[in-house]
Amino acid sequence: MRFATLGKGPEQVFIVVRNDDGADIGAGVPLEWKADGTRDGIDVQAFQTAAKQSLFVGANHYAFSDGEYGLAQVYGYDDDALVLKHGIATNSNVAIGDVAIPNTNGQFEFVVAGTQVTNNHATTVGVVCYDKMVAAMQTLASASSATITGTCGVFLRCM
């Protein structure tokens, strides 16, 4: 683990990970453990297993290529998390304190804490969202479409 303290700034914790996605992973993308029995505990891929939120690692800190080592942020304020630009419903704003989950398209999506999620979208059935692992730290105006992405300051608690 690497701890970053910026003078009087917020604490941030990072872990070293290896990209085993088969493709480049951009900055701010949610990551999941790639557990296949070879290098468990170091290999990650862009988040893609909707039914297994427990594999969520944290947010990729810098873009890195397949097979390279990089940093995943697991705790603290992240000012450039890649998110879908809507709140708990399409066309609602993201509000400070809204809870986010990683989705299989490579962004965070804001949902109601403790709601059920299916295919990583808030619904009434499916897998329970692990609430409070990622929380919005700024407001974000909603986009006109549920697929428009942007960046948002979030607080990560993945340790």
What per-residue confidence (pLDDT) applies to 56? 87
Q: Which two tokens stand for residue 80?
A: 């450039």
What is the value of pTM for the model shown?
0.81
> Looking at residue 51, what is its pLDDT?
63
Task: Report domain extents, the chain.
Answer: 2-76, 78-157
Torsion sign, CA atoms 116, 100, 64, 69: negative
- Alpha-carbon gap, residue 155 to 150, rounded angstroms: 16
pLDDT for residue 78? 93
Residue 159 has pLDDT above 50, yes or no: yes
Distance CA(39)–CA(33), nearest Å, equals 10
95-111: pLDDT as tens digits? 888 888 888 888 888 87
Q: What is the pLDDT of residue 71?
A: 94
The CATH code belonging to domain 2-76 is 2.40.300
